[in-house]
Amino acid sequence: MILSVGCTFAYQVVAPTANFTFNILANTGPQQKLLNESVVCVPEVPAERISTSKGNRVFRVEVPAGPFELRYAATVEVLRAPLPPDMKSDNPGRLPLAVLTYTLPSRYCESDRFAPLAWELFGKIDNRTEQVREICRWVDANLTYAPGATDSRTSAWDVWQLRKGVCRDYTHLAIALCRALSIPARYVGGYAAGLEPMDFHACLEVYLGGQWYLFDPSDSIPPENIVIIARGRDAANAALTTIFGRVNAGSVKVTCAAVPVSAAVA
């Protein structure tokens, strides 16, 4: 699948200068091939690009007082491996150390609090693939999508008490339940074709049989329709923007759509 993605951020910098870190560039790797990309800053300012160990590509700028706009566009070929139909449990003691951290509780995913519930609901499912699918189905069935019901402080346990939230909250709850069963799970932020209304999207990757696989517990967007831009233990490690300085935020526009085969070939 070839996807065209993009976003526009508008700001008014009130301080003499402000520093922005944007985590909105398409990730690159074996499952995502970047075909083309453009970043435009208005006004034009010096920029720095940094790639992290998780593959996140960070874009940093320092902006003077006044209006500022960032425009990003890219075309990405998504090459995700199909999900194995029958996957047995990984031995936690044999997991790579870089993966083991994704079995532990984190700021927004208090998996230790969910252990009794997770084992009661999903502990008897031997097939790990089906176990994760069932967790995603259960989260979707037990939460109500309600923009504005939660905020940046809301954790998975809070969401479970509220029974409502947005894609970020669905994802945190699914991650917490997976980790409660010793399934490595990490937070993913990205672009998603077919999402309504269009916005940035949160989902999760789960480590099964030596590879990470993508799941979407809130909107069931197919993995081939998602372009990953950020990964982390939870949303605290995958913020789309980090701002230092006094700034008034303006509009945000996000786009993501499949590119017709004829256009992609041309």
Domain containing 114 — which CATH number?
Answer: 3.10.620.30
Minimal CA–CA distance to 150: which of 141, 140, 142, 159?
A: 159
Same domain, 232 and 251: no
Residue 265: pLDDT band with limits 50, 70, 90:
very low
Residue 84 lies in a domain: no
More confident residue, 204 or 210: 204
Asked if residue 73 lies in contact with residue 37, where contact means CB atoms within 8 angstroms, the answer is: yes
Taking residues 157-161, what's their average pLDDT? 97
Distance between CA atoms of residues 183 and 104, nearest Å = 10
pLDDT tens digits for 163-182?
A: 999 999 999 999 999 999 99
Residue 190 lies in a domain: yes
Taking residues 125-142, what's their average pLDDT? 95
Distance between CA atoms of residues 121 and 125, nearest Å = 9
Distance between CA atoms of residues 126 and 131, nearest Å = 7
Helix (H, G, I), strand (E, B) or coil at 192: strand
Residue 46 lies in a domain: yes
Same domain, 64 and 138: no
Same domain, 127 and 194: yes
Residue 62 lies in a domain: yes
Same domain, 230 and 114: yes
Mean pLDDT of all residues belonging to the chain: 93
Helices 167-180, 128-142: axis angle to 10 degrees equals 140
Predicted confidence (pLDDT) at residue 237 exceeds the cutoff of 70: yes
Range of the domain at 129: 92-237
- What values do phi and psi take at 94, rounded to 5? -110, 0
Minimal CA–CA distance to 191: which of 181, 183, 203?
A: 203
pLDDT for 90 equals 79
Minimal CA–CA distance to 205: which of 244, 160, 174, 167?
A: 174
- What values do phi and psi take at 53, rounded to 5? -65, -25
Residue 222 lies in a domain: yes
Same domain, 215 and 257: no
More confident residue, 265 or 149: 149
- What values do phi and psi take at 248, rounded to 5? -100, 120
CATH number of the domain to which 58 belongs: 2.60.40.2250
Distance between CA atoms of residues 3 and 55, nearest Å = 19
The total domain count for the chain is: 2
Residue 141 lies in a domain: yes
Distance between CA atoms of residues 190 and 7, nearest Å = 11
Same domain, 138 and 195: yes
Asked if residue 52 lies in contact with residue 58, where contact means CB atoms within 8 angstroms, the answer is: yes
Same domain, 119 and 227: yes
Same domain, 98 and 170: yes
Task: Count other C-beta atoms under 10 Å from residue 85's C-beta.
Answer: 8
pLDDT tens digits for 26-70?
A: 998 889 999 999 999 999 999 888 876 666 889 999 999 999 999
Same domain, 200 and 229: yes
Residue 68 lies in a domain: yes
Same domain, 214 and 122: yes
Instruction: Give the CA distances from residue 42 to residues 9, 18, 61, 113, 124, in Å, rounded to whole numbers and listed in that order.
Output: 10, 14, 11, 46, 55
Same domain, 17 and 135: no
Same domain, 52 and 103: no
Q: Is 240 exposed, middle or buried (0-12, 13-18, 19+ CB in 10 A)?
A: middle
Predicted confidence (pLDDT) at residue 264 exceeds the cutoff of 60: no
Distance between CA atoms of residues 234 and 199, nearest Å = 19
Instruction: Give the CA distances from residue 48 to residues 40, 59, 124, 157, in Å, rounded to whole numbers and listed in that order.
Output: 13, 6, 49, 37
Residue 70 lies in a domain: yes
- Locate 122 and state its tokens: 């999903």
* Most confident range, picked from 89-93, 183-187, 257-261: 183-187
